[in-house]
Structure 1
Amino acid sequence: MMNLLKLVKYDWKRNAGFLLIMGALFLLTGAAVTVFGEVKNLDTDLIYVLTFIVYLAVTISLCVTICRTYERNLRYFNRRLLPLPALHTVLSPLLLGIAGLAAIGVIGVIHLMVLGAVVDTVHLRVFDILADRGFWAMMTSSILFVIIIFSSITVGKVFRGKKGSWIGAALFIGLQLAIQWVETKLFPSMNVSTDQFFQSVNVRITDSGDQVVHVQANVPNFWGPLLYEAVIIVLLVYMMTYLINRKIQIRG
């Protein structure tokens, strides 16, 4: 465990400059949207949409960063020679990404509270979202998406040259289509993909002077799809560790 944390710390140091700059821009942009919206008296819905775009952009940037980190870890010869399990190579950037998402989530909670106090009389019950199983279903699907990217990068590294890039890209598309197709066949009424999570969200506003938004996602067949995606994650991680070990043995 300590070795894994050391790897996470190492990955953080390599990306700290970019992540800190991105975090500073993220905070400044989010604050600017709130202040500008209040000063210019923009529509409340527009302020929330602009804020969502800011959070989406920083989340995508974080995802790209951890995928690049994983790709570099596979490419660097000295990193692959470390006497550590191949599983650490997979988990290290993944944990870094989860830590980044947690930081974004904490900032988001604070920001929502500020928005509720400054530009709106409606307060979002953040804990309702965190306690809802649809939120965790969406998180599982998000992790699966990142693992699919990692798997595609790993398979691409097995082959030399541009051929590896094309094979990795094809695998990325093929894995998504195949996993989604099987999930739809197994659980036709509902799967736990991100888009269907948002389609299932119901919003209810209490009738009071200090209005409160209650958010609830109706996700039928919750445990089946969740376990299915968890099994896929485990299988893909096992495949990656196998390929990483094989790659070291052949090319080390």
Structure 2
Amino acid sequence: MLKLISYDFRRSRDRILAVLVIMILFQIGVWLSSGTTIEETVSIHLIVYFVVGTIFLFFAAFSYNRNLKSYPRRLIPVNAIYTVLSPLLLYWLLLLSLLLIGLIHLGLYVLVYSADFLPANFWPVVIRSTLQCTWSAGLILLMVMFACTVARSIPLKGKVWITLAVLFAIENGVAYLEKLLFNNYFIGLDNAFRFEITKASDLSSGLELVYTGSDLIGVLVFEAGVAVLLVYAMTLLIRTRTEI
């Protein structure tokens, strides 16, 4: 599977590096053209990281779709489960690289402005939010991959429309069940950003982030079950399509 991940990365390496370089240059431009306070630019920086993470998701989905086309012809002689898991692991590695760049970015801000602008409990909240976002992004990628697999398994034209229809159905189905069971819509992404900021004037320790999300244990169990079912279903569909 590591060879397949390496193969997928090499195939998309130029585009990945181009996106990272453009992002870094844009972030530098935003910083240099902004005012003297971090509050003026932090929202733009976060949006840029979110957009790049979404672009990486599409890269991973396209890589899976290419491997899916090659699998029946045995151009990529690997196990079906590796074909499913390698794009997911590649995507998480890309998100990890994005996180490392973000930490370097934060370190530069601390050097320039000092760490006084950070809330007192900044790191616990950020770690929790990052883990939730990473997990939810991976689950969304699995849904996209499942939709692509179903579309490739149906001998009909209009693969793109079939993919969109399946993705719409499964995403809304999972969202409905989460709303029914946990009273939230796509609770992973929702919980990741559910916190409030307490003013520094109200606390002796300065700014503080107050987490207001709901409990994650039941949600993680549910979404882990959904992820396992998606991986299992994709593996069966790939093998069945190959045998046919």
Residue of structure 1 aligned with 2:124, choices 124, 128, 132 = 128
1:194-205 to structure 2, matched below 5 A, reads: 194-198=189-193, 200-204=194-198
1:218 maps to 2:212: yes
Q: Deviations over 1:171-198 (max 9, x none)?
A: 1011111111111211227863313432
| TM-score, normalization by structure 2 | 0.87
**Distance in 2 between the 1:79 and 1:94 partners?**
22
Contact 1:129–1:215, Cα closer than 8 Å, also in 2: yes
Of 164, 169, 185, which residue of structure 2 is paired with 1:169?
164
Cα 1:95–1:48 change in 2 (3 A) is same
Matched residue, 1:142: 137
Report the equivalent of 1:232.
226
Aligned residues: 240
- Aligned-CA RMSD value: 2.6
Match of 2:22 in 1: 25
Give, as a single letter, the amino acid of the residue that structure 2 aligns with 1:44: I
- Residues 212 and 10 from structure 1, CA distance in 2 versus in 1: closer, same or farther, beyond 3 angstroms? farther
User: For residue 115 of structure 1, what is the aligned residue in structure 2?
Assistant: 109
Structure 1 unaligned blocks of 5 or more: none
Q: Map 1:180-199 onto structure 2 (within 5 A).
A: 180-188=175-183, 192-198=187-193
> Who is 2:152 aligned against?
157
Which one-letter code corresponds to 1:150 in the other structure?
M
Task: Give the letter aligned to residue 10 of structure 1.
Answer: Y
1:85 to 65, 79, 89: 79
Q: Which secondary structure state, in structure 1, belongs to the residue aligned with residue 187 of structure 2?
A: coil
Q: SS at 1:162's partner residue?
A: coil
Letter in 1 for 2:153: V
Q: 2 CA distance for matches of 1:149 and 1:143?
A: 10
Where do 1:94-105 residues align within 5 Å?
94-105=88-99
- 1:65 corresponds to which of 59, 64, 74: 59
Tell me which amino acid in the other structure corresponds to 1:25. I
Decide whether aligned partners of structure 1 residues 97 and 243 sit closer, same or farther in structure 2, where only a CA change above 3 A counts: same
CA offsets 1:64-85 (integer angstroms, 9 cap, x no match): 1111111111112577454422
Q: CA deviation at 1:13?
A: 0.7
Per the alignment, do residues 51 and 138 of structure 1 end up closer, same or farther by CA in structure 2, a change over 3 Å counting? closer
Q: Structure 1 vs Structure 2: percent identity of aligned residues?
A: 27
Aligned to 2:13: 16
Q: Work out whether residues 192 and 226 of structure 1, in 8 Å CA contact, stay in contact via their aligned partners in 2.
A: no
The 3 A distance-change label for structure 1 pair 215 and 110 is: farther
Task: Single out whichever of 159-168 and 173-182 deviates more from structure 2.
Answer: 159-168
Q: Contact 1:197–1:217 (CA<8 Å) still a contact in 2?
A: no
Cα pair distance change 1:21/1:178, threshold 3 Å: same
| Inter-partner Cα distance in structure 1 for 2:185 and 2:58 | 29
Shift in Å at residue 55 of structure 1? 1.1
Consecutive unaligned residues of structure 2, counting only runs of 5 or more, are none
Q: CA offset at residue 169 of structure 1?
A: 1.2
